[in-house]
Amino acid sequence: MLRWLYTVNKYILSIDAGTTNSKAVIFDTEGNVVSKYTVRMQSKYPREGWVEQDPYYILSAVKTSISKALKSAGMPPWEIQCAGITNQRETTIIWDRKTGIPVYNAIVWQDRRTEAIMKALSDYSPDISKKTGLRLDPYFSAGKIKWILDNVEGARERAMNGDLVFGTVDSWILFNLDGSHPCYTDYTNASRTMLFDIRKLEWDSGLLSIFGIPDVLLPDVFPSLNEFGSISIGRNKEIPVYSIIGDQQSALFGHSSTSSGMAKITYGTGSFAMLNTGTDIPKSGALINTVAFGLHGRKVNYALEGSVFSAGFAIDWVKNLLHVRSFARFEEMAETARPQNSFMVPAFSGMGSPYWDPDARGLIIGLSGSSGRRDFARMAYESVAFQTEDVLREMEKASQIRAARVDGGLSISNFLMQLQADLSGIKIMKTGSPEITAAGAAYIAGIAAGIWEIDDIQVMARIEKEYIPEDGKNNALERYPLWREAVTRSLKWVDSNQKQQNII
């Protein structure tokens, strides 16, 4: 039975600081969204493969979204009982402990500038993988930290002296919204840095030595459910922050995938599939192991994860290229196009799971004289489904997947969700909550506050629609081998191109 009888007019604030959007979402004690406000994020691309965000803009977006969500709800700040933070992971910020001034822009998870660093450390790859569950890839934070220390004047010396602190976006938000300026993070975000031993649940001195990173630079690490501090949301109103959790893990929890064998797919800027493996850390193959969440002390659940770097980004890229503003119009174009043996591989910043090739670059192949705008729209949607299928096939080597819960902006596309079901041969279940990532952080905070128990989450995680595989409808499965051939042609493009230039 849900326990909200004694929490009338008490609400939970969830801060969802994503790559594309930053949101503040207010939930009631039945898990319903009462109010939300979204601020569109701004990214900078100073060079090819570089992706940055202004740390101050991130903070401003969070503050604005909180203020506007409260105003939209028409509720006084004192009715907010507690808060949770969920965030884009791996994105790296380093700032001064005393002044709070960043030494450089936030380097976003999509950024590929550290490819040379990763290649130089290839001999350490087995040790890194064993301890962290991750691949040696620019995706993760360690290379980004090293780059800042090596390239920003005075940064390494200041870091060695303990004057600087590193944090992912959650740490940056907490530091600035809590008056005591704590330097904290949680197990899930720490597990994405490539510096954290996911078995011992602590920063690893050997990994720090490999990357040349001083331990005094790092934040303290706690379970996802913890008393992280407090934030001000109004005059003389401080609310406790009871949860911090990475966005994909938060979505997993928001789907109530709290036990082993449950899977979710989030279709956002990228596409991220995650399988809860309980207390076990299985062989990851071409995927990665990560911490799913930790609620009590040093007891955690682990997850197997596959990361697709360009999903919603690929859709937006083609929409902008074709000058199509309406999402509904773009989907209609894709749905009415006839399936063809033409493919778009959106390797704008390399390929993630299961290829892990930072040198891959995007291509479109298989065009004919009859190819048109509708075909390009279809290729964009199919690229998301095919990339996700690549991940699911790897995941099924560890555990059979009969169904997957889905969320994220692209999950509103009936065409894409049915295509995914047809291609993967599994039931796709779309959540009834439009803010499932924010919900995960709110649920954990609510559990900490005594509003809910973990079994209550199952009741609140409602399914809105199911997509059942329909054999042959999209001809997708038959064309999957050709998709893999197209991907093969995109791999090692940067490396091959450099070799060709050297020959010339």
Closest CA to 295 of 230, 223, 243: 223
477-489 burial: b if 16+ Cβ within 10 Å, else e: eebeeebeebbee
Structure token digits, residue 334: 């894709």
Apex 423 CA angle, 427 and 253, nearest 5: 45
Query: Concatenated DSSP letters for 397-455?
Result: TTS--SEEEEESGGGG-HHHHHHHHHHHTSEEEEES-TTHHHHHHHHHHHHHTTS--HH
Residue type, 231: I
Strands (DSSP E) found in 319-426: 343-345, 363-365, 403-407
Beta bridge partners of 504: none
Q: How far apart are CA 346 and CA 78, in angstroms?
A: 46
Residue 390: predicted pLDDT: 94
Instruction: Please give the model's pTM, rounded to 2 decimal places.
Output: 0.84
Which stretch of DSSP H or E encloses residue 174?
A: helix 169-177
Whether the Cβ atoms of residue 360 and residue 454 lie closer than 8 Å to each other: no
CA dihedral 311, 315, 320, 323 (to 10 degrees): 180
Q: At what angle do helices 373-395 and 414-424 cross, to 10 degrees?
A: 50
- Residue partners of 32: CB distance under 8 A and separation at least 6: none
Q: How far apart are CA 448 and CA 379, in angstroms?
A: 45
Whether the Cβ atoms of residue 52 and residue 106 lie closer than 8 Å to each other: yes
Low-confidence ranges of the chain (pLDDT < 70): 1-9, 471-474, 495-504
Whether the Cβ atoms of residue 419 and residue 378 lie closer than 8 Å to each other: no
Residue 76: predicted pLDDT: 81
Which stretch of DSSP H or E encloses residue 22?
A: strand 21-27
3-state helix, strand, coil in the chain (%, to 5): 40, 25, 35
Backbone angles phi, psi at 94, to 5 degrees: -125, 130
- Residue partners of 68: CB distance under 8 A and separation at least 6: 24, 37
Q: How far apart are CA 308 and CA 383, in angstroms?
A: 10
Q: pLDDT digit string (tens) for 341-359?
A: 999 999 998 898 899 898 8
Q: Hey, is 278 helix, strand or coil?
A: strand
**Per-residue CA distances from 222 to 28, 70, 187, 202 (Å):** 26, 29, 6, 10
Structure token digits, residue 391: 């991940």
Residue 16: predicted pLDDT: 95
Is residue 219 classed exposed, middle or buried when 0-12, 13-18 and 19+ CB atoms within 10 A define those classes?
buried
Closest CA to 43 of 140, 137, 101, 109: 109
Beta bridge partners of 456: none
Closest CA to 271 of 148, 134, 413, 463: 413
User: How many C-alpha atoms does 22 have within 13 Å on its Cβ side?
Assistant: 24
The domains located in the chain, with CATH, are 11-245 (3.30.420.40)
Q: pLDDT digit string (tens) for 395-407?
A: 888 777 878 899 8
Apex 302 CA angle, 171 and 86, nearest 5: 30
HEC secondary structure over 39-99: EECCCECCCCCCCEECHHHHHHHHHHHHHHHHHHHCCCHHHEEEEEEEECCCCEEEEECCC
Q: How far apart are CA 349 and CA 111, in angstroms?
A: 7
- Residue partners of 195: CB distance under 8 A and separation at least 6: 132, 141, 142, 145, 203, 204, 207, 208, 211, 213, 218
Closest CA to 27 of 472, 442, 328, 434: 442
Q: How far apart are CA 346 and CA 343, in angstroms?
A: 10
Structure token digits, residue 51: 């992706």
